[in-house]
Structures are given as C-alpha cells and as structure tokens.
Amino acid sequence: MTERPKTHLSVSEREAMTEKFLGYIFDLDGTLLDSMQLWLDIDRAFLRELGFEADDDYSQAVKSMGYEAAAQYTVDRYLLDLSAEEVMRRWQEMSFIAYDRHVDLKPGALDYLHTLKTQGKRLGIATALNQTHIEAALNRHAIKHLFDTITMLSEVHRGKGHPDIYLLAAQRLGIHPSHCIVFEDILSGIKGAKKGGFTVCGVFDASSEKDWTEIGAYADLTIRHWDELRTIRSDEADAR
C-alpha cells in the first residue's frame, strides 16, 4: 500500500504521533509567533536605508542564524561601513516595539501549550531571537510561565542547520532527544533537529511556503494550523 503523505494525516493520527512525548521544544518566530513577515520587512527597510535591496537569498540565509551571526553576515555580504554591533542595535530599535506591542501568537498555539501543561509535559523554547525580544513576546502574551527552559541560538556555536540548539534545549529539560518532539517552521531547523535524533513537526509559515514540499519530506509530520492538534480552551485549562 502506498504511504500517505505526512501532510494528509488525520487529526487523530497527528495526535497519536505528538502526545506520546515527554519534552516539547518550540521555535518562536514563524512557529508559535506570527512574526516572520516582520523580519522580512525589517530586512528590506534596513538595507533600503543604506541603498541596498534585500533579495530572497539573503532572507533565507539570515533566518536560520543567530542575531550576531546574521548581523556579521549582513556586514560582510553588503560590505557595510558598520560594525555588527551597530547593525544589531538598529535591528533592535526597529523590532522591539513590534514584539512588545504587536506580534501575535499563531491561532491555536496558546490552547495547545495549555493542553500540554495540563498533561504534565515539559516545554522548552529554541530560538534565534535575543533575550530582549523573547521577554517582550512572552510577557506580551503572559506565557513565560508555561516554559521550563529557554535556549537561544547565541548560546551554541552553530546555526539551526545543526542539532546543537535542540540538544541543549533537551539537556535543559532533562529529557533524551528520543523522547522529545521539535516544532519548527524553517527547513534548515527541521534538518538540524533531525540530525540530533528528534522527532520533528514542520509548522507552516508563509515565509517558508516555497520549502513546504521539502519540509514535508524531512519532517515526521506537518501541520498548517495549530488546531490540527488536539486543543482545549484556555479557560478550561486554567480551571483544571
């Protein structure tokens, strides 16, 4: 019998694949947060200030990098008369208000996080965002308490195409990678997590739409919306 594509799994099949784990590791941008378009807009606006245009290759390259690595890559690629620190400072100015006031969770994400916590699961974050943006986003949505650990890409030596950040997140959760599932929206992150021995769920984001077929090939399962996984309402979770 021909195996059905992972993008066509039923809700019950997705539930069976995801609910057996002890540790759940989430990317933020493009996975839990509806924020990837923000960074594309910042890339374009920042480079336009300097007389350059951000192309797709640039945007694809930097989105899997940590903050400092992306800044240095930008300086080197465009031969900017700026330091990486100056680039990061400008990005910080352009993006902080958005994370503090405007960036939303993706629909269904909050309910899913509450569901996992009521089941006694341990939750971690593995993100390329810096501490300031993480704090702003989590505090805006009052969800920091749901996570047992937060791991930043700046804490490891290699980018999300490698398993380092996910392995560190699992170590901090105290759970072996074979008992963890990683949720990621970018292809390089999915490949990196798979290299670490994790089960991986690919989460659709418009910024990675051109990679969706390949994401489906690498990930163990995929979802386009968080409500494809079993959820309970937040008020029900609070009452338990």
> What residue has token string 């089960």?
199
Taking only the tens place, the pLDDT of each residue in 163-184 is: 999 999 999 999 999 999 999 9
Q: Let me know whether 26 and 41 are in one domain.
A: no
Mean pLDDT for the stretch of residues 104-131:
95
For residue 194, the surrounding DSSP H or E stretch is: helix 187-195
Confidence (pTM): 0.80
Sign of torsion, CA 76 79 83 87? negative
Residue 154 confidence (pLDDT) above 60:
yes
At residue 231, the pLDDT reads 42
CATH number at residue 184: 3.40.50.1000
- Residue located via tokens 């208000």: 97
Q: Which residues span the domain enclosing 126?
A: 8-34+104-239
Same domain, 91 and 136: no
Distance CA 74, CA 16 (A): 43
**Average pLDDT taken over every residue of the chain:** 88
Least confident of 53-57, 98-102, 212-216: 53-57
The closest alpha carbon to 202, from 55, 189, 113, belongs to 189
Is 3 domain-assigned?
A: no
Closest CA to 23 of 121, 148, 164: 121
Q: What pLDDT is recorded for position 97?
A: 85
Does one domain contain both 115 and 200?
yes
Domain closes at, from 101, 126, 145:
101
Residues 157 and 90 in one domain: no
pLDDT digits (tens, 9 = 90+) for 48-74: 999 998 887 888 788 777 778 889 999
Note whether 146 and 207 are same-domain residues.
yes
Q: Are residues 76 and 16 in the same domain?
A: no
